[in-house]
Homo-oligomer: A and B are copies of this chain.
């Protein structure tokens, strides 16, 4: 099964730093690897890395090239398949435009947060909506200390936080993406 109406964006701007300032975080190599592998496993159509910094675009494209065309293809062909669905854009607006342009269908923004607040959508409800609807759903995950409020306010959905079995909730974004995809699309 391919969930060809589901996309992921990993947001590096606008996000918070630990003091609550809006910043641009650096793209990390491990995020690209882990999230592309999870996205590919769960049938996500495309995984967008979002940063306005041009130098970071070059960095990401170099990594993608290594695993798609360079030494990486022979060393680990399965990594190529994961990197096939990775793209990089300067803003969330550019991502939405790319998706709607290619698919001809509108895009619903689904934001995520580690902290609880009003009007949350449960995983169960989002799953139903995605399965029944042929429009596009873009799951947005934040880096740093989380997605800026302006993005969350402008989104169609805010997904409930992932709760483990304790009050400690400091999962890495790599773990959060993996768990979210499994809750939505995992086969049990």
Known: A33-B172, A37-B172. A163 touches B178 (CB 8 A): no
Are B124 and A168 touching (Cβ within 8 A)? no
**Does A174 count as interface, using CB distance less than 8 angstroms?**
yes
List B contacts of A37 (CB < 8 A).
Answer: 170-172, 175
Q: Which of B2, B166, B182, B187 contacts A41 (CB 8 A)?
A: B166
**Does A188 count as interface, using CB distance less than 8 angstroms?**
yes
List B contacts of A40 (CB < 8 A).
Answer: 166, 168, 170
Which 10 pairs across A and B sit closest by C-beta, in order of nearness? A41-B164, A175-B178, A42-B164, A43-B165, A163-B187, A1-B165, A165-B185, A34-B172, A78-B170, A179-B182
Q: Give chain A's interface residues, CB within 8 Å of chain B.
A: 1-3, 18, 30, 33-34, 37-38, 40-43, 76, 78-79, 81-82, 122-124, 162-166, 168-172, 174-175, 178-179, 181-183, 185-188
